[in-house]
Amino acid sequence: MKHKKPPNRRTRTPMWSGARASQTRAAAATSAVSREATRVITNADPGQDEVAMIDSGESATLHPLTCQEDNRRLRDYELRVKGAFARIVPTLKSIAARQYEPDFERWAIEEARALLSVELPGDALANIWLERLDMRRLFAHVTFETFRAMSGEYFERDPLDRHGRAQSFRDFLLECGFHSMNVTPCSDGRLAHTISYVLRLPMGVARRRSYAGACFDIEDAVQRWANVELGRFREGVPNLADAPTRYLKVVNYHYSSRDPKRQGCAAHGSDTRRAAEAGLEQLQAFRRAVENTYCCGASIAMLLIGVDTDTDRLRIHLNDASGGANLDRFIDVGEIYGATARLDAGSARTLIHERIAAASADGSSGPVTGMQRLIACLIENNLSQIDYVRTYESGQYPDVGHEERFIGVGADFEEVQLRNLTYFAFMRTLEEGAANLDVGIKIFRRLNVAHGLPIPIVLRFDYAGQVPGARERAIERCARKAEAIAKRYPDLAERGLLHTLWTVHDSSRAGPIECVGGSLQSHGGEA
C-alpha cells in the first residue's frame, strides 16, 4: 500500500475567516503486528524513530479496548465548546455588516443570543448612529462570555463525568502504591487536553500544573508535596502517613511525528531529545530537593511521558526498580495499538502486561509492580484516545501548530480540557512568568493581532474560602497582574488589542469561577 506524505503546513482555516475547518487524511497503515512494542533506542533521537502508522480510514474497526461511549461523550463536549468559539467571528461579521440598518440594536442582541448564547452589552450598541461599533471590544466581550459559559458548565454540570470516576481512580492509585498523582504537561495549548482526553484521568485526583516546556517550579512542587504529606499526617487523607505508598510526579513533554523539527516543543527548540532530557532533569531535581530537605526521597515516584501532538499517542518511559526514568527505554502506545488491534480484549490486556513486565531486551530491572499496573492503565486509556483521533480527525489533527482562542494567566485552569483552546502562562508574579507570557503574546500576534483582533487574556487566581481575606487578596492579584500586563505590552493595550478578564475560584469547595473585573466595562472595567 502506498502512503500519502502528510503535509507539514497548517491545514485548518484560520479562525478569523469564519469558514469551516478542513480535514486532512493521515497516512495509511503498515502491518499491525510487525513490530515489537517495547523499544530500546540507542544513539538516536527518539523524535526521529520510525512511526508505526495506524489505519486512519473511517471504516476501520476500533481497538477491542476502546471505550466508544467515552469517545462519543468527549466528542460531544469538544464540538459544543469549540463550536461556540468558532461561531464568534462569523456572527460578529454579520452584526458589523448591518450596524446602520433600522432596528439594528434589537436585531443584534437577538442574533447574539440565538447564535452565540451571549448577551451583548447594551452600551456598545446604543450610539451606533454616531460612531462605528467597536468590534474589538465586542470580540473580547463575546470571547470572555463564551469562556464563562464553558467554565460554568464544567464545574456545575460535570460534562466529562469527573466526579463519577474520581473515587474509583483514587482507590486504584492506592492499590498501585501511590497516594497522590501530580501531572505537569507543557503549557502549549496542544496539551491542554492531556488529563481528560490523552490520559483519560479524572481531574482533581490527578492534579495538573502546566509550565512552558514542562519545566515546573521545583520549590512550588516541594511545597505541594509537603502539603500532601501534612494532610496524610494530620488528617489521614488519603491514607495514613505510615502507609507504604508514594507521591507520584509525572512530566509530559511533547513532540511532533509529522513535523518534528518545527512543531515540537518551542521551549526546547523543537528538539524531542532535549524536551525529554529536560523533563527527566526536573523530576530528578524534585526528588533530590525532597531528599535534601526532608530525608524521605523514597516517598517520591517519577514517571516521564511523551505525547505526540499530532496523534495523541503516548511514549511512556520505563522506570527501573529504584523509580528512575530511562530516556532510551520506552513503550510507544501506537505500536502497542498495532500489536493488539486484532486480539480480543482479554488477550490484548495480557500482551500489554507482558510487554511492560519485560521492561527491556537487555535484562535490566523494570518498573515495580504498582507502577506496571498504572502504566498498563495509561496505555489502555490512550488506546481509546488514539481511536478518538482516528475516528474524528482522520488519524492526525489538521491543526499541526497553534490555534488557541485565548491566553490563560495565573493558576492552572481546571476547566480547560480541550486541545488548542488555551495558551497557558502560569505565574505568581509577572516577573517570574514574563518569558512564558511573551511566548503566548508572540503566538497571538500572529493568530489575532495580524488580523485586527485583540488578544483575550483570562486571569485566574485560586483562594481558600476558609481563610479570612483570601478572596480579596486573590482579586488584588488579578488587578496587579492586569496592570502589569498592560504596561508590558503598551502597543497592544493602547490600541484596544489586548483585553483582560479577572476571575477567582474558591478551591476549598465545589463551585464555578467568579468573574470579578476586567478591562471591559461589561465585566466591571473602566468605561
The candidate with the shortest Cα–Cα distance to 328, out of 39, 37, 41, is 41
By C-alpha distance, which of 521, 517, 452, 439 is closest to 187? 439
Question: Which residue bears the cell 478542513?
Answer: 22
Instruction: Report how far Cα 346 is from the mean position of its chain's Cα atoms.
Output: 31
Cα 314 to Cα 318: distance, rounded to the nearest angstrom: 12
Contacts of 241 (CB under 8 A, 6+ apart): 229, 232, 233
Q: Residue 146 and residue 105: Cα distance in Å, rounded? A: 21
For residues 290 and 44, give the distance between their C-alpha atoms in angstroms, rounded to a whole number: 32
Which is catalytic among the residues 55, 70, 188, 308?
Answer: 188
Instruction: Considering only the C-alpha atoms of the chain, give the largest distance between any 2 of them, rounded to a whole number of Å.
Output: 80
Q: Is 308 a catalytic residue?
A: no
Spell out the residues 6+ positions from residue 330 whose beta carbon is closer than 8 angstroms to its own.
39, 41, 46, 306, 315, 316, 317, 318
Provide the H-helix boundaries in 295-368: 333-340, 345-358
Q: Can you tell me the distance from the alpha carbon of 307 to that of 265, in angstroms, rounded to the nearest whole number?
A: 11
Q: How many CB atoms lie within 10 A of CB 507?
A: 15
The catalytic residues are 188
